[in-house]
Amino acid sequence: MAKWVYAFGDGKAEGEAGMKNLLGGKGANLAEMSNLGLPVPPGFSLTTEVCTYYYANDQTYPDDLKEQVSTALRQIGYIAKGNFGDPDKPLLVSVRSGARVSMPGMMDTVLNLGLNAQTADGLARLTGDARFAYDSYRRFIQMYADVVLGVEHALFEEILDAAKDAKGVELDTDLDSDDLKRIAGLYKDRVQSELGRPFPESVEEQLWGAIGAVFGSWHSPRANTYRKLNNIPESWGTAVTVQAMVFGNRGETSATGVAFTRDPATGEKLLYGEFLVNAQGEDVVAGIRTPQPISKVVRERQGGKKPSMEEAMPKAFAELKAIGDRLEQHYRDMQDVEFTVQEGKLFMLQTRAGKRTAEAALKAAVDMVGEGLIDQRAAIARVDPAALDQLLHPTLDPNAAKEQIAAGLGASPGAATGEVVFTAEEAEKLAADNRDVILVRTETSPEDIHGMHAARGILTARGGMTSHAAVVARGMGRPCVSGAGMLKIDAARGEMSAGGVSIQRGEVITIDGTTGQVFKGKVAMRQPELTGDFGTLMGWADSVRRLKVRTNADTPADAATARKFGAEGIGLCRTEHMFFEPDRILAVRQMILADEESQRKAALSKLLPMQRGDFEAIFKVMEGLPVTIRLLDPPLHEFLPHKDEEILEVAAAAGTDPRKLRARAIALHEANPMLGHRGCRLGITYPEIYEMQARAILEAALNVEKSGGKPVVLEIMIPLVGFKSELDRLAERIHATAAAIKAEQGRVPAYLIGTMIELPRAALRAAEIAQTAQFFSFGTNDLTQTTLGVSRDDAGTFLGEYLAKGLIARDPFVTIDVDGVGELVRMAASRGRQTRADLKLGICGEHGGDPDSIRFCHDSGLDYVSCSPFRVPVARLAAAQAALQSSTAQG
């Protein structure tokens, strides 16, 4: 008989931490904590294999599952001293999801399950606390109706708010048992009116309804979005954990909370989190009530008035801290725990690796090495390379003028400026139009995830450091200010106000997710400085990686930025961007309009000193590091005007007939310019263009060396080669130009000639092309387009469908298509080096900054990757992780 259910509790468990794929992260870690003897309420997990079966068999369950669940329920009751559905000793359970990786807030949970009219009365008699019993009952009805039955949460909030208004109180805790019993009845009446059927009284029906809802939530829109954003396979499925309830809503000696063993925003080693007295878990994470800090030092820093857990419940706090230290030692990583204190007794409900900002990840990893908890290799592997982007965003200029309008908690660091929007849909729509937005909400919910991803930053009026907004924003690297309680938000009217200042939809605000401040208008920002823990970890990464990391840079400023981030050269300098400068576009257009070679050369002679100056400035910044310069690539029509008024302006400046200019623009038009007259084909047709560029490059290198600069490691790259004959013809012209310079100046700088491999034919004929080429640079942007027959500019109209339907696992323009494009890269690398053993190999497409693609480049034997300046640290760390993964696999 297949085993579908794994039990835990009473100091033992059938599972352990290594069984996450089967039990999900929550179930595996609950089992592990049970095995460690920690205070964990008993429970059991339905495996991810049940989820797989459920979806493969028309949302039905294995025949023997119910018997295994019933047996496990009896075992929970034995340990917890209660029976499921028994009015005299009612056992209540929670039903929660548990994927193998954490997906906070993305799937459904039901608490207090097992209550009906009889068991609620029985719970009141058993505990002698009627208020607690009916508070739990009304919570259960509201949560179950929302999650399982599909009745909107807000409908129940209206009933609750009306009851508080009628009694003249503000807080749920001000309602007495009679109030709550009446509210529970009104909740059930609302379910009846909404659905036309009563709220289920059978606890068995309740249980299987909740289990089905959790499995169903694996395919909810928010879960699908989260999986897509975090590359989590749909096939993994989720486990379901059923666990005996413990109650944080048993009065002033009870509480519930969430804690991190280190500050998830900074990495500081202290117990960091929040709790609520006389509350249940959803109160903390939903942001319905603003919670209190766990540690006294955090309360003092935030200027809070209410006591911290350390002050209000010192015994439970001391036990929680000791357990947190033990878990961190056991897992050798920062932990995120959920807990409940029931009448002074602490219970652990969950532990998992804590989500953290890049700053916190760096500090925690470096500190843990210093503490002897992990070694340097583990520290390198611990930090997500893509998360380093968070460190590279601007912060507010401390000297800039600011008009503060509100303040909350700095829930996710970094600063952001944008137009105010009040719904996730607005955020997504405006962001698609390349407008920066700040999503402003009373509180966020998992349904807002698409808007949070689209926004530059998030601002909420409610919620704390562990609210949904805070946790998700930190994971996404979005600045977030939460719990700005002075904000009054009227989303329907498109207005927010604070301190007498009113901000309308579309007006600009700035938030500081580090300090929690909110400012009116745009505030000046400054670029980040990377030192301390960043430098330490990068030093460790550089010591183990094999791949070099270069940058794609077309200006001295880009080159300087990349060097600051650790770039070891330029892998792609695009010369066409220089042609669009206002002081030279006219000469470019004159060159294009010329009927004869002599006229083109005359126009090019005006461009020569400009190009030479461009290269000199870049060479000086790079100080002897390799620089790969790609000769002109795009089709000439891109440089010509197309509007009538622009044509008249250019014709007048060039002293030519506008009709001639218009005719020339029409003649150069191509049906498919991406596959047209571009790249080396321009050099074949107009060799004087490449000759001018070669002269500018070589003379610039000479000038830098003559002025005392370091010798330039120069690589001249010819784009879009498909035939060896093309490369031979153009290499001859470059060599002839070099010879002319040597005759004129007595010497010429050393240089290599290579090509971009961006056509399938070039990859297939790499052995032949390498007879002339001294290096290959894989232009994977175009190689992906030409291999797949897909235009990158148009792919967005259908690739989303391919991803949603599982036809492809990743966007091939983000992560390299290993089986298709990757096969061509491996083939070209192997064939090229069979001809020329010292052939230098690199990649310069957007994939050069993608961690998964970098792993492929390492495994394929490339020498370097090249990426945008701000992705250089990402590439350095990813290259180190690739080296470690490779050595582990080989070992």
- Catalytic positions are 468, 844
Cα–Cα dist 111/141, whole Å: 10
Instruction: Give me the phi and psi of 141, to 5 degrees please.
Output: -60, -45
Tokens of 88: 């005299």
Distance of CA 682 to the CA centre of its chain: 40
CB-based contacts of 441, cutoff 8 Å, min separation 6 = 422, 448, 458, 459, 460, 461, 469, 489, 491
Cα–Cα dist 384/290, whole Å: 31
Cα–Cα dist 168/818, whole Å: 65
Cα–Cα dist 583/187, whole Å: 72
Give the residue among 323, 324, 136, 143 at the shortest CA–CA distance from 248.
136
DSSP string, 324-392: HHHHHHHHTS-EEEEEEEETTEEEEEEEEEPP--HHHHHHHHHHHHHTTSS-HHHHHHHS-GGGGGGGG
Q: What is the CA radius of gyration of the chain?
A: 32
Q: Compute the Cα dihedral for 846, 848, 851, 855 and give only its sign.
A: positive
Distance of CA 657 to the CA centre of its chain: 53
Tokens of 819: 């089986």
Q: Compute the Cα dihedral for 783, 788, 794, 798 and give only its sign.
A: negative
Q: Residue type at 758?
A: E
Cα–Cα dist 812/594, whole Å: 41
DSSP 8-state symbol, 83: B
- How buried is residue 37: exposed, middle or buried, by Cβ count under 10 Å (0-12/13-18/19+)? exposed
Contact 90, 119 (CB under 8 A): yes
Question: 31: how many CB neighbours lie within 10 A of its CB?
Answer: 28
Give the residue among 665, 717, 749 at the shortest CA–CA distance from 840.
717
CB-based contacts of 642, cutoff 8 Å, min separation 6 = 665
501-504 β-sheet, strand order = 488-490, 495-498, 501-504
Cα–Cα dist 534/359, whole Å: 8
Cα–Cα dist 293/299, whole Å: 6
Give the residue among 220, 239, 223 at the shortest CA–CA distance from 26.
239
Q: Compute the Cα dihedral for 284, 287, 288, 292 and give only its sign.
A: positive
Give the residue among 313, 167, 335, 343 at the shortest CA–CA distance from 247.
343
